[in-house]
Structure 1
């Protein structure tokens, strides 16, 4: 339904795998800020009875669907890593639906600004014009590797392969309006979150 309500001030929060985007997003939620996680939305869309399931089945066949009716993530992960056309095909299915769901959730937000958590924000290219600012969660690459190996039980080589599929750290930082360093000392990140929350509140209310 069309609305004359001004869209909320929007922050795009991104970072490489293992940078701690969820941890940082949770800190902003403690200030009452609406956080919209595109990965979570993608999981909903590809869960049993998700909006994307019929199209995924049509495009990729029954092999793409697990016994429980959800997209078979392991099968799809292997396919898109080895076939760039399959990756583009999946993105063409999911991205418009993710955008639609994001806009729907953002329209219901009551906080002064909203945060979209977008792991591949820099890679996707079309998020720059959809947000007012880009915030990058940053840490040393070795920190990323250690975190993901421990969290996902992956080998160092597997983690490096995932990192190579993303833009590098320098490219991500070059796209940032704001940077949040998230190494082992969370108190530093908490202080930075507080600073940015106050800054973004000011920008949002000054519109």
Structure 2
């Protein structure tokens, strides 16, 4: 098994691309879902967020008000860094657990949906392939304004808070251009999936695990043969 890091930018269409991979039966770990999970009431990250940002970031039921917290961190880079320092370690723990489950189920590759893949760089060394979902800035701005009902100024501020897509495409091994018709984007996803499925890059880890199991089996046999009492 090998890991594929998939990223993009706000309103670039990454979620739609992920849906296509899921429809194809691919193993996908959605960091957004994990991120929502680890900040639920009762979890360590939830407590630390309240301590750092105050109870004004909570809804009446005690859950995090994502809009209020999102507005705060997009306008204050230091606050964004603080939130990341709280949530990222917890998110990564859950990602490791989910990845191991897919490995045991025999998947050839696992897609990790990581919005800040190139910004944090912490997980890059584990990725055999990196993919960025790209769209031109005008398209990104228009989609974001429409999707989130934002003013042009607020939308531009949110885009500026992220590493520009024009930089990400130079860092990624694969680029899925989502600037035009969705049918064209979907064809790109299908071609990439076919390429990853044909790859033999999953073999080293699989063979390594099999070799390890074989060695362990031999060791257990020797222990039972020479160290345990014989009838």
TM-score in terms of structure 1 length? 0.88
Tell me what 1:98 maps to: 91
1:108-159 deviation per Cα after TM superposition (whole angstroms, max 9, x unaligned): 1133211111122111121211211110111111111121111111112111
Aligned counterpart for 1:163 among listed residues 159, 171, 176: 159
Shift of 1:29: 1.1
Counterpart check, 1:37 vs 2:33:
no
Deviates more, 1:179-188 or 1:135-144: 179-188
Task: Tell whether 2:195 aligns with 1:199.
Answer: yes
For residues 152-185 of structure 1, the C-alpha deviation after alignment (integer angstroms, 9 at most, x for no partner) is 1111211111111111122111111001111331
CA contact (8 A) 1:33 1:112 kept: no
The match for 2:168 among 162, 165, 172 is 172
Q: How does 1:77-92 map to 2 (within 5 A)?
A: 77-92=70-85
Give the Cα separation in 2 of the matches to 1:19 and 1:77. Answer: 18
Shift of 1:55: 1.9
Whose helix proportion is higher, 1 or 2?
Answer: 2
* Number of equivalences: 200
Q: 1:82 to 1:190 in 2, by over 3 A?
A: closer
Q: Give the drift of 1:206.
A: 4.5
Per the alignment, residue 124 of structure 2 pairs with 128
- What do residues 24-46 of structure 1 show as CA deviations (whole Å, max 9, x unaligned)? 11111122101111122111222
Q: Show the counterpart of 2:67.
A: 74
Cα contact 2:74–2:158 (8 A) shared by 1: no
Uncovered stretches (5+) of structure 1, i.e. residues with no partner: 1-7
Aligned partners of 2:13 and 2:151: how far apart in 1? Answer: 19
- 1:116 aligns to 2:116 (yes or no): no
Superposition CA RMSD, Å: 1.7
- For the pair 1:54 / 2:50, whether they are aligned, the reply is no
Match of 2:221 in 1: none
Secondary structure, in 3 states, of the residue corresponding to 1:52? helix
Q: Which of the two has higher C-alpha Rg? A: 2
* Cα distance in structure 1, aligned partners of 2:191 and 2:203: 17
**Residue of structure 1 in register with 2:13 after alignment:** 20
Secondary structure in 2 aligned to 1:108?
helix
Contact 1:55 1:93 in 2 (8 A): yes
Cα distance in structure 2, aligned partners of 1:114 and 1:34: 5
Match of 1:143 in 2: 139
C-alpha separation between the residues in 1 aligned to 2:10 and 2:119?
Answer: 13
